Structure 1
Amino acid sequence: MDQKWTALLEDIAYDMTHQKRGRAILINNENFDNHKQRKGTDVDAKRIQKCFIELGFEVVRKNDKKVSEMMNLLEKESQRDHSTSDCLVVIILSHGEEGRVFGTDYAVHLDQLTTLFDSTNCPSLAGKPKLFFIQACRGTDFDDGVVVKSDDEPDGIGMDSHGFALDQDFLLAFATVNGYYSWRNRKNGSWFIQALCDVFSRHSNTLDLLSMMTRVNNSVAFTYQSSQSTGGKKQIPCMISKLTKDLYFTPKSKR
């Protein structure tokens, strides 16, 4: 590759040539103190763990964590030296409500998690992508009377996108838009995670992240629909991007 093209890539794309791809922290909450069990989430966890391993990440999976344990896990991660890594990924599979995600005991504001990795709290990730993938509902409280008797069921309690203290170079990808359910199948996992892993496995060598996320939106919107017993509902993911460059998961050269 000539120097001119290399310089152009440095201007428009993140540097993904560090020694390591980075770590992907996967929090998979299935069993809760006061909320319905999220059956099918282990299917999601297994699938997305495999997906990010294939992208070169060191995946750290933790199941059924209380809020204090989630905070402790991510605080420790923010204190690590990420200077030899391309980026960081945080994946949360859980219930959610009004700007919060649930541990197995209660909820925590999402901005309390994201700010742990801003330039002040995690300087070794300054200028690098911090990617959050959130599989949870963002709408009406499931416990207030939405009864689903099929394998397709809403995935939580609700989440609002307001009030996030986001630094630059963050991306938050949500399974659904504010105010709506995120659907999860007990046998096959959630629509969002199925689509995300399928798109990433097909296109990660050729497309940038935002282009892939557009294809995830397309897949969820046009491929999936809940059973007739739940009214044939649809879903559309969305994201909040403060990325400042294109992000390509350029394959790591074998050493």
Structure 2
Amino acid sequence: MNHPKRGTAVIFNHVNFSLPECSKRDGSDKDRDALTDVLHELDFDVIVHNDLTANEVLDVLVTVSQMDHTDADCLVIAVMSHGDDGKVYARDRDYPTKTLWKYFNACICPSLAGKPKLFFVQACRGRGLHSSQTLRYKPETDGYSDDAYYSIPIMADILVMYSTVDGFYSWRDPSSGGYFIQSLVKQLRLHHETKDLLTILTFVNREVAVDFTSYEPKNPKFSGRKQMCSIVSMLTRLLYFTNNKTIT
């Protein structure tokens, strides 16, 4: 992270929808504001979009992919909306979740080649409900150093973190926001100066998995449920948000 600029962070916040099947997402503005604040603290140039249509989301993604990111460390795209299996909702319709990173591979966006491209998705991925089970486990870590000269696949250096695993609901408190985004903000703020990103996101995984249990007194079916975030990492380096922690 030793470029002149940290980079661009784009937040798509969806609260209101024109679709009858999509209810208002009360509490999402708290997630938007909290995430905006912590990204500013990390020196990102933050762009916030509220309640865009699918075509408007696509236009923003294309525009950002065509920007010159030569002087930037990385890119962040965050989406907070309703979702289902393989799709996320804009104000007027759904679109494939993979559209979010479609325009940022090394061929389409060469100024971000070899740089981290981070995607955070706060949305349901199905209608499954997590039950709870008591267990013990011991975390492990691993790492390696790469060669000085190498070639990379065009989809390298992309990380996607979902608020839930495929097929399951994602939970949001109407008064305090989504548990995933709130934990992400908290852990970034606590550890960005000392820990690499995947370690921080593992802390998010654990906090959401262990500390969160749904409480819906008016609907017992939805009470006592758990949530498990999901990380899909194609990063090829350890990512630190401090200049003196860059590892090659």
Same fold (TM over 0.5): yes
In structure 2, the residue corresponding to 1:117 is in which secondary structure?
Answer: coil
Task: Quote the Cα distance in structure 2 between the aligned partners of 1:109 and 1:42.
Answer: 23
Q: Which runs of no fewer than 5 residues in structure 2 stay unpaired?
A: 130-153
> Which amino acid in 2 is paired with 1:241?
S
2:224 equivalent in structure 1? 232
Query: Is residue 2:211 matched to residue 1:219?
Result: no
Aligned pair in 2 of structure 1 residues 228, 70: CA closer, same or farther (>3 Å)? closer
1:117 equivalent in structure 2? 104
Task: Quote the Cα distance in structure 2 between the aligned partners of 1:89 and 1:140.
Answer: 27
Instruction: Give the fraction of aligned pairs with identical amino acids, expressed as a percent.
Output: 42
Task: Quote the Cα distance in structure 1 between the aligned partners of 2:160 and 2:192.
Answer: 18
Deviation at 1:228, TM superposition (A): 5.1
2:16 equivalent in structure 1? 31
Deviation at 1:45, TM superposition (A): 0.3
Q: Out of 163, 167, 171, which is 2:159 matched to?
A: 171
Q: Out of 225, 234, 237, which is 1:242 matched to?
A: 234
Deviation at 1:82, TM superposition (A): 0.1
Query: Is residue 2:87 matched to residue 1:100?
Result: yes
Q: Which runs of no fewer than 5 residues in structure 1 stay unpaired?
A: 1-15, 143-165
TM-score (norm 1): 0.81
Moved over 4 A (4+): none
Deviation at 1:85, TM superposition (A): 0.1
Instruction: Summarize deviations over 1:43-70 as a string: whole Å, max 9, x none.
Output: 1000000011101101000100000000
Choose 240-249 or 112-121, whichever is displaced more: 112-121
Deviation at 1:210, TM superposition (A): 0.3
Alignment of 1:139-158 (within 5 A): 139-140=126-127
Count how many residue pairs are aligned between Structure 1 and Structure 2: 215
TM-score (norm 2): 0.84
Query: By percentage of residues, which structure has more helix?
Result: 1
In structure 2, the residue corresponding to 1:171 is in which secondary structure?
Answer: strand
Query: Is residue 2:73 matched to residue 1:86?
Result: yes
* Preserved contact between residue 205 and residue 251 of structure 1 (Cα < 8 Å): no
Q: Out of 199, 220, 224, which is 2:187 matched to?
A: 199
Task: Quote the Cα distance in structure 2 between the aligned partners of 1:177 and 1:80.
Answer: 32
Deviation at 1:112, TM superposition (A): 2.3
1:65 equivalent in structure 2? 52
Instruction: Summarize deviations over 1:164-221 as a string: whole Å, max 9, x none.
Output: xx81100000001111111000111010011111100000000000000000011101
Instruction: Summarize deviations over 1:99-135 as a string: whole Å, max 9, x none.
Output: 1111101111122221201111100000000000000
Aligned pair in 2 of structure 1 residues 179, 141: CA closer, same or farther (>3 Å)? closer
Task: Quote the Cα distance in structure 1 between the aligned partners of 2:107 and 2:97.
Answer: 17
Name the Cα RMSD after superposition. 1.7
> Which amino acid in 2 is paired with 1:27?
F
* Preserved contact between residue 128 and residue 167 of structure 2 (Cα < 8 Å): no
1:183 equivalent in structure 2? 171
> Which amino acid in 1 is paired with 2:238?
D
> Which amino acid in 2 is paired with 1:243?
L
Task: Quote the Cα distance in structure 2 between the aligned partners of 1:44 and 1:176.
Answer: 16
Task: Quote the Cα distance in structure 2 between the aligned partners of 1:231 and 1:46.
Answer: 27
In structure 2, the residue corresponding to 1:118 is in which secondary structure?
Answer: coil
